[in-house]
Chain A
Amino acid sequence: MNRQRLSLWWFVGTLVFALLSMLVPLPNVLEPFKPYWPALFLLYWSLESEDRVTLGLAFVIGLGADLLNGVVLGEQALRLCALVFIALRFRSRLRFFPMWQQTLAVLALLLNDRILLLIVRMLAGGMLPPASWWISPFVGAALWPFLFLLLDDLRMRLRIQ
């Protein structure tokens, strides 16, 4: 019982941490390199414990991110829903990919996410972002193996599932 509660707290804590790190400001030069943390953490959890991550959860997290970020309500909810849906659909395959293939898959997912965001912004009447805007998915994919191993290791150490 206690173990279960701990694992739930760990799950919620990582997601909250993802939202917080999305808000942390970086120096102007580093700004385009900031990965989309909520997507990475949600991806990890959708691969590792699929019964916890549902589309509804992705939607709620997205709404929370929208609230914190001050963008149009529903924008990130839409993006995260699409991301989690694809991840859950190919979960059994993604899980058994070797790490480099998994990283490529994550890159594809993050790029797809950016394209979705671009479409939403265009529909809302925004303008084309600068080229540096496309760096973030690559950084996210490059961080993926480390994030995955770190979270997995921590999970093992805490002996939670």
Chain B
Amino acid sequence: MARARDESSPLFAGNAAGTLRLIFYLALAMVLMVLDQRNGWLWRLRYGAAAVVEPVYRLAGLPAASVRTLSVAFADRQRLTEQNQRLREDLLLANAKLNRMSAVAEQNQHLKELLDTQHSLELNVQLAHVIDVDLGAYRYRLTLNLGARDGVKPGQPVIDAHGVMGQIKEVLPTTSVVMLVTDPAHAVPVVIERSGLRTVAYGSRDGGQLTLPNIPLAADVRVGDRLLTSGLGGRFPSGFPVGEITAVAPAVTGMFLMAQARPAADIDRSEDVLLLHDQAEPDGPPAPVKPMGPPRDLAPPAAEAPITPASKAGALPAATQLPTPATSGGVPR
């Protein structure tokens, strides 16, 4: 702090030195940006700084929370009764539906057991609260109040009552960041419910929308078609609503149809979301079975000690050479 004062009058203060310092800092910032872009340093650092960052988030979210509390406190009686009435009706309806659903679920369970599959219809979920924090100019992310301590893992799907919201991108000890389906860098494998066509829904650049840029020209896609997760790719379990198609037009290239879709989830309004715990089946073929050798108890006990110093390349010849005297002695066949 006192350093700047040592220099001469502020009118002409260290022109060359100042520029040099600027260049130094700019270069430092560039290097940081490149390094961060390449290895995702920031998140490791953020994880470490979470003890500081997390209360700051709570503090920053306070005004929004207090506005909400105030709006509840000062809401007039009329509106509250109306709301109560509506909620009661909704609850009744939901309960009726739930009863029917449970019957269907039971039946389904039964059939699946008959088919000898291991999948259960029950969702293994965790309720999370959205912390109101503005994470930068592009609003494609949410902060949740659960983190690594609550067992949240990156890649977990996040849904709300109406459909898929996104997936966990980064996890801090007590908070986590959700990447929304409307993020331009996000893609969900979907299937069109009516026709069964499989495609991919990307986040849209104009925000709050989904685009499906590569639908075959001959495909049967209409406005109003519902999109479900297809379960391909191994991130999202199949069968969750993703959105509804709002517009279909040939792409600029003329090679594909391009569709716009409105996300099914209430992305702007959700305050509580669900974290799915059971993920879809991992993608790709099943892991290869480890090649089975002869049972271990057949191996000669003396062979183990001399192998340890052998390098990886030398391990094979050593293993083939060493047992020879032992087998000749141990197994007389």
Contacts and interface: CB of A to CB of B under 8 A. Distances in A.
A26 interface: yes
A78 B53 contact: no
B151 interface: no
Interface stretch (A86-94, A142-150, A153-161): A86-94
Contacts of A127: 184, 205
B301 to A, nearest CB: 56
Interface in B90-118: none
8 contacts: A23-B57, A24-B63, A68-B56, A70-B177, A72-B37, A73-B42, A89-B18, A127-B205
B46 to A, nearest CB: 6
- Interface residues of B toward A: which range? 35 or more
B37 A124 contact: yes
B61 interface: yes
B37 A59 contact: no
B55 to A, nearest CB: 11
The list of the 8 closest CB pairs from A to B, nearest first, reads: A74-B32, A23-B60, A78-B29, A74-B29, A74-B33, A73-B36, A73-B42, A25-B134
Interface string A1-41: 00000000000000000011011111010010010000000
Contact of A24 (B35, B134, B141, B268): B134
A23 B49 contact: no
Interface stretch (B3-11, B191-199, B304-312): B3-11
B128 interface: no
- Interface residues of A toward B: which range? 35 or more
Contacts, number: 120
Interface of A: 19-20, 22-26, 28, 31, 34, 50-52, 54-56, 58-59, 62-63, 66-75, 77-78, 81-82, 85, 88-89, 91-92, 120, 124, 126-127, 129-130, 133
Nearest to A32: B137
Contacts of B46: 67, 70
* Dominant secondary structure at the B interface: helix
A55 B22 contact: yes
A77 B10 contact: no
Contacts of A23: 56-57, 60, 133-134
A31 B56 CA distance: 20
Given A20-B56, A92-B10, 6 more contacts: A54-B1, A55-B22, A71-B136, A74-B28, A78-B30, A81-B29
Contacts of B29: 59, 62, 74-75, 77-78, 81
Interface of B: 1-5, 10-11, 18, 21-22, 25-26, 28-33, 35-37, 41-42, 45-46, 49, 53, 56-57, 59-61, 63-64, 132-139, 141, 170, 177, 184, 205-207, 268
B28 A59 contact: yes
A78 B46 CA distance: 19
Contacts of A81: 22, 25-26, 29
A72 B18 contact: no
Contacts of B18: 55, 85, 88-89
B323 to A, nearest CB: 55
A7 B32 CA distance: 32
Given A51-B2, A52-B1, A81-B22, A67 B53 contact: yes
Contacts of B138: 126, 129
B25 A56 contact: yes
